[in-house]
Structure 1
Amino acid sequence: MKKQILFFFPENPFSDKAGNVIRAKTNLNVLKKLGYNIDLAGIEDMYKALNDNTDFDNNLVDHLFLLSRRPSKRITSLKYWKYKIIKIFSKRNKSNPLLTAYIKGCFRELLKKKNYDYIIINYEQWTGLLDGKLSNNPVKIIDTHDWITLNEFYKNPLLKIGDRFQEEINNLKKFDRIITISQDEYFIFNSFLGGKVINIPPSFPVCFSSTSKKKYDLIFVGSDNIFNIKSMQWFFNSVYPLLPENINILIIGKICRHLEKKEGVEQIEFSKDLQEYYDVSKISLCPMLEGTGIKIKVIEALSYGLPVVGTERAVDGFSSKYANGCLISNDPEIFKDNIMALLQNESYYQNLKTQAEEYFRNNFYEEKSIQQWKKILI
């Protein structure tokens, strides 16, 4: 009999709108290839806030369960008034206001209906879903995605770092397996939590392009999170004015909503198939100034064999900061020089492209991820 997995991810992993979402869908692909039956759970309020539909790939997922943070508001509903009373006496979760006592109760009811062998929770903030005794004693796995304390500090410099990091470590202790995607974050969590921590970097299939004719010199793919917005504002304020006027740049994603129209810059807010654009682009941009974890957009670019020009944050989480297909600098002038060196020297470009492909095969190839997941699902 196939083993059962309950995979909790708060958003719709099939929306393809951001790197974290793409990675969640990639993990579902890997788990299905390993032969598991998978149910998906998410948060109804997040689906609505993000305008996510409830479509999912039934070749990967058997059922979708959406959890609401409160029952429907009906005066005669006993469930609603019970929720109101519990809310009065419950402490608000400061790190995750959406994690209500009602959601926890709904999740426990879900677990009573089916004996899952594994429960995979995405993001440390949702650890509270597992509060209380679990029937069938499933293996509890957390996919951290990021070092959340640092992520929250970037957004709120007044954060009490010690208290938040202690909370994060205490939450991670509740799991049997702890997955990181960044080598840097693996070192941090392994130092505190030992052997239950395993690093499984993001993975993609190989999509190296043999297309020689390129329409775009530079491509950037990103959602409209605060880190992407700051990064592209820096690029257009500090690097773009240094580039020749004939440079062709393509920007894809909701980040376009926050960018002014520029000469030589094409903007596409959404594309279901990025390959057609990566295939006709020469260099991928990653001018990240903040943010935690490995940058999915960089791994994705490497999977298409594109060299990357970025800032130091572009190679966060890499096992090697050099010989990885990326040219790195936080200095706008050097950043510009790195772009121009690749565009003007074809031999140099081909050498870095080969380096990008080799580094991808050795570190982020899908088969490698499958083998790593296989080791922890025993």
Structure 2
Amino acid sequence: MFYFPVNPAAKNAGNITRALGFLEYFKKRNLEVDFVSEKYWGIYTPEGIAELKATGLVNEVHLLEWKPKKKNPITYFFGYKLKNKSFVRKINPKGAVFNRVTLYLQQQFNELLLKKHYDYILISYAFWADLIYKNPLAAKSLTIIDTHDLESSQFQHEEGFDVGVALGDELRRLELYDQVWAISPEESYFFSQFLGNRVKYIPMMLPDPIPVTPNSNPEFDLVYVASDNPKNIMSAAWFFDHVYPLISPDARLAVVGKITSHVPENLPNVTLIPYVEHLETIYTNARVALSPMLEGTGVKVKVVEALSHGLPVVCTERGTDGLPFKSNNGCLVGETPAEFAGYVNQLLQDADLYKQQAEMAKNTFLQCFSAEEVSKRLDAALSIGR
């Protein structure tokens, strides 16, 4: 069983890239997968479910409801709401990171386990970790939590957040599992201080890019790919307000993704591309990737994607989060606008520096994030012989 709350068919975020990597791996290892998701978050249609099953990546698709339909207000209140309030209070201390497990969600999850035994139960995110809390139906399965991130860090600015309570409760949730999969070496180190050798470092896994003839005259000098979450919006504002004016005016920049709606209009040599079906078409038509992240934890998937295509990356220190190598990795780190812009200009002007960084980028990907290398880690974690 693979529990992942978002529809993997969307293919529009790093967490989905990770989920698809796992599904591809399971298929190659002839593991039959029942895919379980939360209906509200996944935004599924009957056509989308059929399309997902047609890929051969999953056997069955089960969509769980967060709460029952309110057919009768009185029955709903006394038959569910009061019981759920008591249920949630037991597992969700005040000040902790929000817990997505409700009584109704738990009941549906348990129904699946009653119908079928699973050798492996893989749950994504600590938000849903308590699905196996004191759950005898999961006792004979190898239980795995894929953390994706340190959630307490992500929500530390939320109202009512208590760092001590949140960290303690997050570790309590992870301790329920036989294995804890961490996406970055930093998080693997942190979790292992409390959870020991049950923590497994499972990096982001990307397929090797399809070999193409290098474009000797790419359309873009620079590419900046990002979604429009709050931290990306803040980072884009810093970049365009303080870094962009220092970059060579001749540099041609492609901005790709939902972040385009937060880019100043009519900037010279800036092309806005809100959506592209295949990012490879952009990466193979650019020279340098940018990642001006100011905040955020966990591996930056867009950085890894750029490295996989042999693109040097100019980033802030946050852009190297999740990279096992902190130097000689294909990334040049600039913390100030002048440093950041300086590295961009150097890469565009210095052919030797560019070649050196491009080779480091490709080597970092092959050694750390390629499907072949990450599959070895998964084989060891799941005790699968090749």
* Structure 1 residues 326-362: Cα deviation after superposition (integer angstroms, max 9, x where no partner): 0001110010010010101112111110111112111
1:62 aligns with 59
2:183 aligns with 181
Residue correspondences, number:
371
2:84 aligns with 87
2:122 aligns with 120
- Contact preservation (8 Å) 1:181, 1:201: yes
Structure number with greater CO (CA < 8 Å, separation at least 6) is 1
* Structure 1 residues 113-172: Cα deviation after superposition (integer angstroms, max 9, x where no partner): 11111110111111111132215611100111111111112x438631111000011111
Distance 1:57 1:252, change over 3 A: farther
* Structure 1 residues 42-76: Cα deviation after superposition (integer angstroms, max 9, x where no partner): 11111249xx9544253101121111111222229
1:148 aligns with 151
2:106 aligns with 104
* Structure 1 residues 247-274: Cα deviation after superposition (integer angstroms, max 9, x where no partner): 2111111222333323222222222211
Shift of 1:283: 0.6
Distance 1:73 1:312, change over 3 A: same
Larger CA deviation: 130-139 vs 144-153: 130-139
Q: Distance in 2 between matches of 1:192 and 1:323?
A: 31
TM-score normalised to the size of structure 2?
0.90
Q: Distance in 1 between matches of 2:2 and 2:75?
A: 30
CA RMSD of aligned residues (A): 2.3
The one-letter code of the counterpart of 1:42 is: S
Q: Distance in 1 between matches of 2:370 and 2:138?
A: 36
Structure 1 residue ranges (4+ consecutive) displaced by more than 6 angstroms after TM superposition: 76-80
- Contact preservation (8 Å) 2:233, 2:262: yes
- Contact preservation (8 Å) 2:292, 2:316: yes
2:137 aligns with 134
The one-letter code of the counterpart of 2:164 is: G
1:331 aligns with 336
Q: Distance in 2 between matches of 1:56 and 1:110?
A: 19
1:361 aligns with 366
Q: Identity of aligned pairs, percent? A: 35
1:12 aligns with 7
* Structure 1 residues 154-207: Cα deviation after superposition (integer angstroms, max 9, x where no partner): x43863111100001111110001111111111111111111111011121222
Q: Distance in 2 between matches of 1:81 and 1:375?
A: 48
Shift of 1:376: 1.3
Correspondence list, 1:199-348, <5 A:
199-207=201-209, 209=212, 210-261=214-265, 262-348=267-353
The one-letter code of the counterpart of 1:82 is: G
TM-score normalised to the size of structure 1?
0.92
Q: Distance in 2 between matches of 1:337 and 1:76?
A: 63
Secondary structure of 1:281's partner?
coil
- Contact preservation (8 Å) 2:203, 2:369: yes
Q: Distance in 2 between matches of 1:123 and 1:221?
A: 24
Secondary structure of 2:251's partner?
coil
Distance 1:264 1:20, change over 3 A: same
1:32 aligns with 27
The runs of 5 or more residues in structure 2 that have no matched partner are none
Shift of 1:314: 0.8
- Contact preservation (8 Å) 1:72, 1:80: no
Shift of 1:244: 2.5
The one-letter code of the counterpart of 1:115 is: H
